[in-house]
Amino acid sequence: MNMTPAVKEPRHCGTCTLCCKVLTIEELGKPNGQWCPHCVQARGCAIYSDRPNECRGFQCGYLLWPALGEHWLPARSKLVVAFKPDGMEIVIHVDPGVPNAWRAEPYYSEIRNMAGNAEGTATTIFVQVGRRVIVVFPDREVDLGVVAEDERISIQEEPGTRRRGAVKVKANDPRIV
Ligand code: SF4
Ligand code: SF4
């Protein structure tokens, strides 16, 4: 699937600050779903020039992915699409204040389309609401529930089938590659 960061007309955050709520920032000890204490609502980061590397490395799908229409503006959609640097994960972080925002249309259909386009690639689509994670495959969703801090998600072919599945495993499990 084409995830080339190539929006022709650069988008801007405007008054959106939602990534500063939904993302985990380990360097600050900030869990996902809680506003960062450095976030100034509707304005941005109060420590921008000194913000953590995790913040600097965040790749916002709305800003970078032209396939996402204007309606995906996070402040409006309540959804923050994040690309992992290795390109193997697209995580749709949902504002926990609106936990079903991802099921609203047209977002839900577009998320299902993302999963369909990812079929046959190494990319997996995740929806994250706080610590709850749902993995979206083309033919179904796998709701893993709360993923604890010492757990990870392993994507693997289900026994006896040719379809991918998702399971929670401990962080030291050898199935994690
Ligand atoms: S979620 Fe995206 S658009 Fe919103 S503030 Fe963060 S980087 Fe900007
Ligand atoms: S440090 Fe700044 S950019 Fe990072 S989460 Fe906090 S407010 Fe947002």
- Which atom, in ligand 1's list, is nearest to the CA of 75? 4
* Residue among 7, 25, 62, 68 to mutate when testing ligand 1 (max atoms within 8 A of CB): 62
The tens-digit pLDDT sequence of the chain (177 residues) is 434 444 456 899 999 999 999 999 999 999 999 999 999 999 999 999 999 999 999 999 999 999 999 999 999 999 999 988 777 899 999 999 999 999 999 999 999 999 999 988 889 999 999 999 999 999 999 999 999 989 999 998 888 888 888 999 998 887 665
Distance CA 103, CA 105 (A): 6
| pTM, to two decimals | 0.91
Using the mean position of ligand 2's atoms as its centre, give its distance from the Cα of residue 153 in Å.
26
DSSP for 138-149, written as a single string? SS-EEEEEE--T
- Closest CA to ligand 2's atom 5: 20
